[in-house]
Amino acid sequence: MPIRVEGLSYIYNAGQPMEKLALNNVSLAIEDGEFIGLIGHTGSGKSTLVQHFNGLLKPTKGRIYLDGVDIHSKEITLRSVRQQVGMVFQYPEYQLFGETVFEDVAFGPKNMGVPEHQLAERVEWALNLVGLDIGLKDRSPFELSGGQKRKVAIAGVIAMQPRILILDEPTAGLDPKGRDEVLSLVSRLHQEEKTTIILVSHSMEDIARLATRLVVMANGEIVLEGTPEAVFQHADYLERIGLGVPQMKKLLQALQEQGFDVHPDHYTIEAAEGEIVKILETK
């Protein structure tokens, strides 16, 4: 089992006036090949949680296990953990520093001990995966457009070839076109490269389509967990804690309330279309 979290609690500014319990006894297990959608309002603790997976934050209480090994024990180095558990922060383009795109993307693999002669291959592979032209590798990353910069930043993390990839709101600040590109890239990673994905987001619609499992957080705790269908059953509760359900689900539920014979457990346009066609055919 790749990641297991046991009884994790985390307190910010422990022992000071601004002390805050950010995570309260959280337990979670993540299997290989999953696509986890981690959802919650701002302040629910989702960013704090994922920063424990690669050791950027140390638990106040509880443990994190990677393949059964406590990541803070002597049996494993944090460097090894961070090679296996990659993380893309919000607005990752603000962390670019290389003189060339190549230099920036190579930074991660280099730190992880990839030998010089293999770096070029890695960088090329990563740039390809994010859909950037190889010809850009000698350009300064600061000359690129916002969308391209973000792809360079993501490539920089992917180049380490982590087994598990955490992305914190990777579509933040992007227009619909940019958002689609990033989400399809993440989907590709999941399907083709078999990377386990943990996607942190606010957007129900983004996540619903791609995730195999949803984890919903509120006030530092996991409040709901399961397949998208299972989680969206609790539509009222989700609305109450400030998270919506996908529009299509709301529509189908509303139709069901009006007496129509539809399955309310769908949340994509295609599926909703199917249900409504059924109604129209009976007229």
Partner 1 sequence: MAMMRNITIGQYIPGESVIHRLDPRTKIIATFLYIVLLFLVNTFSGYACSALLILLAVALSRLPIKYILRGIRPLAFIIILTLSLHFFMTEGHVIFQVGFLKVTQEGVVRGLMMVSRLVLLVVGTSILTLTTSPILLTDGIESLLKPLKGLGVPAHELAMMMTIALRFIPTLIEETEKIMKAQMARGADFESGNIFQRAKSLIPILIPLFINAFRRADDLAVAMEARGYRGGEGRTRFRVLRFTYKDAVALIFVAVFVVVVSIYF
Partner 2 sequence: MAEALIKFTDVSFSYSADSPQEFEALTGINLEIEAGEFVAVLGHNGSGKSTLAKHINALLVPTAGNVVVAGIDTRDFDRVWEIRQNVGMVFQNPDNQLVATTVEEDVAFGPENLGIPTPEIHRRVDEALELVGMNEFRLRSPHQLSGGQKQRVAIAGMIAMRPRCIVLDEPTAMLDPVGRQEVMDTVLKLNRQEGITIVLITHAMEEAILADRIVVMEEGRVVLTGVPRAVFSQVETLTQLRLDVPQVTALANRLRQRGYDQIPNNILTIEEMVNVLCQLE
Q: Kindly state whether residue 128 participates in binding partner 1, applying the rule CB under 8 A.
A: no
Q: Kindly state whether residue 19 participates in binding partner 2, applying the rule CB under 8 A.
A: no
Helix (H, G, I), strand (E, B) or coil at 15: coil
16 binds, among partner 2, partner 1, none (CB under 5 to 8 A by kind): partner 1
Applying CB under 8 A, among 146, 261, 263, 278 the residue interacting with partner 2 is 146
Q: How many residues of this chain bind partner 2 (CB under 8 A)? A: 33
* Contact positions with partner 2 (CB under 8 A) in 201-230: 202, 205
Q: How far apart are CA 186 and CA 122, in angstroms?
A: 18
Residues 46 and 200 sit within 8 Å (Cβ to Cβ): yes
Q: Which two tokens stand for residue 46?
A: 């989702």
251 binds, among partner 1, partner 2, none (CB under 5 to 8 A by kind): partner 2
13 binds, among partner 1, partner 2, none (CB under 5 to 8 A by kind): partner 1
Neighbours of 97 (CB within 10 A): 10
Q: Kindly state whether residue 97 participates in binding partner 1, applying the rule CB under 8 A.
A: yes
Instruction: Provide the residue count of the chain.
Output: 283
Kindly write out the interface string for residues 36-55 of this chain, putting x where it contacts partner 2 by CB under 8 A and - elsewhere.
-----xx-------------
Closest CA to 96 of 54, 145, 47, 167: 145
Q: Kindly state whether residue 175 participates in binding partner 2, applying the rule CB under 8 A.
A: yes
Q: Which two tokens stand for residue 232?
A: 């969206």
- CA distances in angstroms from 169 to 183, 199, 209, listed in the order given: 11, 7, 15
End-to-end Cα distance, the chain: 52
Using alpha carbons only, give the angle 107, 135, 106 rounded to the nearest 5 degrees.
5
Q: Kindly state whether residue 82 participates in binding partner 1, applying the rule CB under 8 A.
A: yes
- CA distances in angstroms from 226 to 29, 30, 168, 230, 265, listed in the order given: 12, 12, 20, 6, 14
Q: Kindly state whether residue 178 participates in binding partner 2, applying the rule CB under 8 A.
A: yes
Stretch that binds partner 1, among 154-162, 196-204, 226-234, 244-252 (CB under 8 A): 154-162
Q: Kindly state whether residue 27 participates in binding partner 1, applying the rule CB under 8 A.
A: no
CB of 1 to partner 1, least distance (A): 22
Residues that bind partner 2 (CB under 8 A): 41-42, 145-147, 172-178, 180, 202, 205, 242, 246-248, 250-251, 254-255, 258, 260, 269, 272-273, 276-277, 279-280, 283
